């Protein structure tokens, strides 16, 4: 494993120094002034003696600096992830079945690695929780540095067991060979070890307590996580968030599935803002909270829980899930995201409470609710000559029956010169202008066989759309709106917005505020939005003011 520079620290307790007994022993003959003098002297001695410790405590509660977090994130390296995965996914560990010799060897490796990172005893953060069948959870605790928040706990976890030689119940075959489980879940365990080391390199711990948990028995029915929830080493009421990493070794272009963001209000925003390190991961948010990994026992207990998962594949639960098939760049990227999620949660002023409505929300419901609206009906009802449009000429080749264009008396062969007072110079600009135009417009055309242009009055279908957007709100995503429709060729479409984008703010105003709606009526506006877990900004400008000319 590669070495790292950085500090190693333990939690600091305030120790009251002992004073010499003669300073504390009252005289046999006392008087009120003398007693007051002795009391003042005693207070001064105590204040002076503990002041260095009070300064240290104050320093510990200060937020971590961005530069320190950046150094920690950069310290997560492929060269450090690979040896962990190679060891855990080696034939020597015989598939790490819970309770087996290979599983015990895997937990021994984790204990060794934690000791190297300064977790030496139970008093110093290392705990082994044994349960049925020779299985054991391996736990490491980093106490929070903020006295007001250290009783709040963020759990970051991964399961280290796999299916051994496989059975008819848990293997996709062939049975009887070592199922190494490089992706499932040596990848998540390696990531968690690197998260721990990165946090140990910080100048001081985060504000909240971090509990790092390596679960055993996941493949036998989430046994390790269920055991911890039934026999917790910290009171359940202290657990504010769980971040679970299960199979992060096969990142593909479609991104990483992220489960659980509906378990508390604002978790999607929380995750997206943590996804800030380049290259940013594409996040596939799902509503479907299945009992398929160790986050679920916490969710069932009413604790917000997230899971990172790069998806199943042909090698899933087969002997062929080997280390040489992993996407190590992707594993590094997701480990860094896991680190940023842990730090953001541990440093936040407040963390949201469990959202009970999430219990009944499913992926099918997500598909129905997030189904974009169909495009609106065509406002004018014409098509044009594509060859001539390349020469910036808009010549009508077809008129939709019973459309506004038909009702206004347009003819095939008419060439559009002006629309709603603006000169028509090419098709893209013209299509955009139709979107924002008022219902009643005047159109100037050049008709074949006429020497003079002809003006036609048109009543367009539907209402003008200055932005080209429709949206809805969602209780699970406060301070944002979800785009259900982006009209093609509208100002919003030209700015790059798409259906299902989440707009967070416009000109600095929260997207669910009255000020946002007022800002949306004025262009240009600067919009912050999120798409697939990536936060970006764009400028929506007025088509008429910027693109078109009235000459």
The per-residue pLDDT for range 89-130, each reduced to its tens digit, is 999 999 999 999 999 999 999 999 999 999 998 889 999 999
Whole-number pLDDT of residue 520: 67
Rg for the chain, CA atoms, rounded: 32
Taking residues 479-508, what's their average pLDDT?
94
pLDDT(52) > 60: no
pLDDT, tens only, 329-384 = 999 999 999 999 999 999 999 999 999 999 999 888 898 888 899 989 999 999 99
3-state secondary structure 85-113: HHHHCCHHHHHHECCCHHHHHHHHHHHHH
**Are the CB atoms for 298 and 215 separated by under 8 Å?**
no
Enter the DSSP assignment of 495: T
How many whole angstroms separate alpha carbon 547 and alpha carbon 494? Answer: 11
Taking residues 441-455, what's their average pLDDT?
96
Secondary structure of residue 329 in the 3-state scheme:
helix
Enter the DSSP assignment of 238: G
Whole-number pLDDT of residue 61: 66
pLDDT, tens only, 531-550 = 999 999 999 988 755 444 44
Whole-number pLDDT of residue 14: 25
Whole-number pLDDT of residue 28: 34
Exposure letters 397-424 (e unless 16+ CB within 10 A, then b) = eebeeebbbeebebeeebbbbbbbebeb
pLDDT(462) > 90: yes
**Are the CB atoms for 154 and 243 separated by under 8 Å?**
yes
3-state secondary structure 373-406: CCCCCCCCCEEECHHHHCCCCCEEEEECCCCHHH
pLDDT, tens only, 62-92 = 889 999 999 999 999 999 999 999 999 999 9
pLDDT(48) > 50: no
Omega within 30 of 0 (cis) for the link into 524? yes
The better pLDDT of the pair 2, 135 is held by 135
Question: Per 3-state DSSP, what percentage of the chain is helix, strand, and coil (rounded to 5)?
Answer: 35, 20, 45
Whole-number pLDDT of residue 544: 57
Question: Which pair of structure tokens corresponds to residue 288?
Answer: 């479907």
pLDDT, tens only, 261-280 = 999 999 999 999 999 999 99
Its CATH architecture, for the domain 66-368, is: 3-Layer(aba) Sandwich (3.40)
Taking residues 395-419, what's their average pLDDT?
97
Whole-number pLDDT of residue 104: 98
Secondary structure of residue 338 in the 3-state scheme:
helix
Percentage of the chain beyond pLDDT 90 is 77
Burial class (CB in 10 A: 0-12, 13-18, 19+), 550: exposed
Using CA of residue 317, residue 320, residue 322, residue 325, what is the dihedral sign?
negative
Class level of CATH domain 382-459? mainly beta
pLDDT, tens only, 11-41 = 333 222 333 333 333 333 334 444 444 443 4
Domain extents in the chain: 66-368, 382-459, 469-546
Question: Which pair of structure tokens corresponds to residue 250?
Answer: 């096969």
Q: Do 66-368 and 469-546 fold alike per CATH?
A: no
pLDDT(316) > 70: yes
Q: Which of 394, 452, 454, 405 shows the shortest CA–CA distance to 427?
A: 394
- Tell me, which fold does domain 469-546 have in CATH? Pdz3 Domain (2.30.42)
Q: Which of 143, 170, 142, 140 shows the shortest CA–CA distance to 157?
A: 140
């Amino acid at each position: 494993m590669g070495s790292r520079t950085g500090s190693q620290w333990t939690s600091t307790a305030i120790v009251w120094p002992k004073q010499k007994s003669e300073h504390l022993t009252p005289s046999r003959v006392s008087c009120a002034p003398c007693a007051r003098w002795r009391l003042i002297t005693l207070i001064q001695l105590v204040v002076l003696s503990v002041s260095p410790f009070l300064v240290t405590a104050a320093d510990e509660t200060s937020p971590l600096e961005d530069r320190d977090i950046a150094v920690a994130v950069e310290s997560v390296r492929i060269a450090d992830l690979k040896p962990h995965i190679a060891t855990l996914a080696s034939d020597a560990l015989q598939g790490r079945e819970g309770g087996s010799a290979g599983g015990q060897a895997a937990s021994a490796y984790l204990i060794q690695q934690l000791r190297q990172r300064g977790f030496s005893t139970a008093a110093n953060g290392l705990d082994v929780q044994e349960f049925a069948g020779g299985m054991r959870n391996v736990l490491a605790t980093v106490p929070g540095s903020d006295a007001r928040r250290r009783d709040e706990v963020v759990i970051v976890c991964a399961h280290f067991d796999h299916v051994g030689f496989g059975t008819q119940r848990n293997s996709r075959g062939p049975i009887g060979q070592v199922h190494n489980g490089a992706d499932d879940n040596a990848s998540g365990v390696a990531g968690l070890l690197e998260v721990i080391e990165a946090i140990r390199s910080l100048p001081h711990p985060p504000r909240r307590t971090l509990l790092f948990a390596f679960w055993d028995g996941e493949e036998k029915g989430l046994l390790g996580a269920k055991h911890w929830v039934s026999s917790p080493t910290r009171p359940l009421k202290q657990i504010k968030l769980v971040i679970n990493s299960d199979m992060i070794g096969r990142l593909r272009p479609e991104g990483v599935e992220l489960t659980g963001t509906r378990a508390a209000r604002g978790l999607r925003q929380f995750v997206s803002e943590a996804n800030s390190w380049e290259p940013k991961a594409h996040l596939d948010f799902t509503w479907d909270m299945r009992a398929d990994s160790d986050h679920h026992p916490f969710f069932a207990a009413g604790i917000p829980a997230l899971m990172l998962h790069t998806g199943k594949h042909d090698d899933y639960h087969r002997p062929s899930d080997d280390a040489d098939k992993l996407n190590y760049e992707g594993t590094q990227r997701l480990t860094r995201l896991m680190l940023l999620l842990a730090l953001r949660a541990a440093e936040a002023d407040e963390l949201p409470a469990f959202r009970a409505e999430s219990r009944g929300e499913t992926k099918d419901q997500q598909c129905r609710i997030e189904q974009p609206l169909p495009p609106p009906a065509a406002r004018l009802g014409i098509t044009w000559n594509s060859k001539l449009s390349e020469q910036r000429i808009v010549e009508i080749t077809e008129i939709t029956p019973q459309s506004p264009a038909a009702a206004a008396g347009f003819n095939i062969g008419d060439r559009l010169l002006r629309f709603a007072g603006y000169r028509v110079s090419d098709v893209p600009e013209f299509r955009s202008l139709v979107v924002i135009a008022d219902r009643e417009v005047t159109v100037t055309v050049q008709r074949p066989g006429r020497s003079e242009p002809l003006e036609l009055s048109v009543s367009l279908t539907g209402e003008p759309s200055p932005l080209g957007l429709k949206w809805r709100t969602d209780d699970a995503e406060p301070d944002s709106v979800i785009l259900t429709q982006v009209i093609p060729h509208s100002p919003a479409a030209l700015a790059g917005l798409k259906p299902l984008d989440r707009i967070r703010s416009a000109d600095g105003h929260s997207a669910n505020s009255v000020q946002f709606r007022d800002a949306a009526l004025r262009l240009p506006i600067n919009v912050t939005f999120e798409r697939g877990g990536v936060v970006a900004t764009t400028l929506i400008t007025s088509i008429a003011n910027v693109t078109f000319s009235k000459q």
